[in-house]
Each structure stands twice: as C-alpha cells, then as structure tokens.
Amino acid sequence: MRSSKVELYTPQELEESLYRHLRQREMPDCFLYTGQSGAQNWLDLEQSEDFPVASSLTELLRRNADSIAAAMPKGCDLVSIGVGDGSKERLLLEALAPDFGARYVAIDVSSDLVDTALRRVDDLEVDARGYVAFCGDLADLRPRWDSPFLLCLLGNNFCNYEPEELLNRVHAELSRQDMFLLDAHLRPEGEEALEEWRREIDDAYGSQKNVRFNLWPLIEHGIDPDACRFDIGLIQVQTPAGKAYRTRKQIRVLESATLTFGDRTIELDSGEVIEMGFTYKYTVDQLRELLETAGFSVAKEFRDEGAEHTLMLAKRR
C-alpha cells in the first residue's frame, strides 16, 4: 500500500479553536474526537454494547457492501468524510477487490483516527491518502481526487449537520458520474412508537461511556467530571422534509471550575451551560425527500430487519 497524510489543521490550531469556542460557551462535537485520548474514547464507544448505533450501521454496510460495489463506476475513487477508524471503508474496498485501482481518501478532523484508517488498509494494494480536515473543507479538498468517485458520510455522520447546507455542499462538488453514500439511525414511522424510542435514545446517549466521551475535552483541560453534568434531550424541529427530531446536547456547570490551556485559563461559573452539537433523527421517507429536494435520486436503499437504520446510495439527477 502507498499512503500519505496531510494536515490542513495542526493539533495546535485545533486546540486554539477549541479554546475560542469554549470562551463562547460552546463545544462543537468535532472536538470530541481530537487528540489521542479523544480518538480512543470514540473507538471504545463505537464498540460498546451500550451505544449500538455505530455497530448496527457497520453491520448493515457489511451485508450490502457487494451490492454497493457492483453499482460503482469502474475506476471510482473512494472518498470518506468523518472516516473514523476506517472499518466501514475497509468493507467497501474488500468488496471492490481485486479490481480497485483508484484512490482511497480518508478525511477526518482527528489526526489519530486518520492514522488508524490508513493502517487498517495497509495490507491492500491501494493508493491511500489521509487528510485532517472538516466536512466544510470539501470544496478545497475536491481537486485532490478524480471523477468518478464515491463520497461517503457513514456512521450516522450525515445526521450531524444541517441537511440543506450539507446537501447543497455535496451536490455542488459531484458530477453526474459520481455517487454519494450515507447511512442514518432512523426514528419510528408511527407516533405510537415514539415513547419507547425516546427511552432507547436516553439509554444509549446517556450511557456512562457516551457521557465520558462528551465530557472528555473538559476533563482533559482540568475540570472535575463531578463539577458538571451532561444533558441529552430530543426536540422537534422543522426541516425541508417536515417535522423531524433532533438531539440537544448541553453540559451544565454544577460547581465553579477552571479550564487550563497552557498559560491561559477559562473560568466557568456554577449554572453556566455549554452548548454542544446535535444529531437529526429522520424517518426514511424524510431522508428520501431531503435528497430529492436537493437534486439527488436514490439509486439503492437498504434497511435492517427492524427498520431502525438505513443505507442509501444516491447520485445527482
């Protein structure tokens, strides 16, 4: 395997960005994955039975990787944003072998996760390139691979962005010969199932490992985990596909605390709230409508037996 890595953002730049966000009492989810500890926390959570979303989506892809590979154009580059540990992308590369002769591009904000994703394919004959970058850098990254390509947002990654903004960004960078692969953890179709589903969400997102994962950037900078509380809730929001649900994550400061960034500090007062990221929960019909409204057509669609997760292969109309 031939591999290389380019950091569009250094660890120091990401640390400075985290400092600026926390001064504004906000902590975007991208900072949960940075640094060696953040990456390892995610890998532990991804494999935990208490947080089954990640493993369920991986299994859905495992069962359908051959079908997806069969639909990809010959010589198609494989590009994944938010690649994580690269296990899903490995499934696709194995399904494409031995005819895959194009590039594999692994993109993540975590340099450690990019390294992990590249190591995962070091036994394959593939030109693997890693980039430490954000999804918002897609337009700048686009000249680094060729058409046709398959752009992947896997691991429920698609649902962590505002749908219109994300789909417009992706649509602008795809030609008619390129393809777009995404997956999602779904909400129930019927209102009668929502109460039980809400409890499942509370259990998964409120698990001890997930709480530690979300608190870690604060713990790493000196806060006592007992001095704050991670809150997760579901709110109903309006989207171009109708009313959907979205998680609302917050960290509530219970006791005055000091965050340390080298020779700089941030003082947190009791009662303050740090706003975090979110995850949309759509029905499968809403996902289809979002894609179609943004100018995509769904070429293939897969769901698991419980219809709790979906995998969609789309292309520009």
Beta bridge mates, 106: 80, 130
Query: Domain map of the chain by residue range?
Result: 2-188+283-316, 191-281
The pLDDT value given to residue 2 = 74
pLDDT single digits (tens) 268-277:
999 999 999 9
Q: Quick one: 2-188+283-316 is in which CATH superfamily?
A: Vaccinia Virus protein VP39 (3.40.50.150)
pLDDT single digits (tens) 64-104:
999 999 998 888 899 999 999 999 999 999 998 766 667 89
pTM of the model: 0.95
Whole-number Å distance between alpha carbons of 54 and 184: 10
The pLDDT value given to residue 211 = 94
Q: Which whole number is the average pLDDT over 178-191?
A: 91
